[in-house]
């Protein structure tokens, strides 16, 4: 299945670590057309399993206005960045990514799978087989 990946320079405010410059990777896979994953690339700092799943529609909406509740929130931070708020184990990390790069990434995902066409990407028989083993 086709995959889109974008590496972005981010500003991260991470609990006790303070403010850091870091690279994050956004991934979109048509096999899971509703989701975008965000991965922190510095494994020494974050560990190899530091991946967050976002609803693609939530990310797109968060470019324009605050969205989300609970563990994930997204909101515009001025005209140049979008803030991603990530909660886990009583901690909160804030990740600011460049808005234009995020918009371009999302645009490419919608070219690949237009809004509303997500269900067409799923192989229902394959999904059922995986669920029933």
What is the tally of structural domains in the chain? 1
Q: Residue 84: how many CB atoms within 10 A of its CB?
A: 25
- Cα–Cα distance measured from residue 71 to residue 64, given in angstroms and rounded to the nearest whole number: 20
Q: What is residue 80's predicted lDDT score, i.e. its pLDDT?
A: 96
What is the pLDDT at residue 127?
56
Please report the pLDDT score of residue 13 as a whole number: 85
- Residue 64: the pLDDT is 96
pLDDT < 50 positions in the chain: none
Range(s) of the domain holding residue 56: 3-132
Q: What is the pLDDT of residue 18?
A: 74
* Contact status, residue 25 vs residue 39, Cβ threshold 8 Å: yes
Domain CATH code at residue 12? 2.30.31.20
Q: How far apart are CA 101 and CA 120, in angstroms?
A: 27
Strand partners, 72: 69, 86
Buried b vs exposed e over 101-117: b needs ≥16 C-beta within 10 Å?
bbeebbeebeebbeeee
User: What is the value of pTM for the model shown?
Assistant: 0.83
**Residue 37 near residue 51, CB atoms below 8 Å:** yes
Question: In the prediction, which pLDDT does 5 show?
Answer: 95
pLDDT for the residue numbered 50: 77
pLDDT at position 91 is 76
């Amino acid at each position: 299945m086709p995959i889109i990946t974008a590496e972005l320079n981010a500003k991260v405010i991470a609990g006790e670590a303070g403010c850091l410059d870091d690279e994050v990777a956004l991934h979109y896979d048509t096999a899971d057309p509703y989701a975008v994953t965000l991965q922190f690339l510095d494994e020494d700092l974050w560990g190899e399993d530091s991946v967050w799943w976002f609803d693609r529609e939530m990310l797109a909406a968060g470019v324009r206005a605050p969205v989300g509740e609970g563990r994930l929130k997204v909101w515009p931070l001025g005209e140049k960045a979008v803030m991603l708020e990530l909660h886990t184990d009583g901690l909160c990390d804030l990740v600011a990514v460049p808005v234009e790069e995020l918009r371009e990434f999302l645009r490419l995902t919608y070219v690949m799978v237009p809004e509303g066409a997500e269900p067409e990407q799923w192989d229902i028989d394959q999904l059922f087989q995986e669920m029933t083993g």
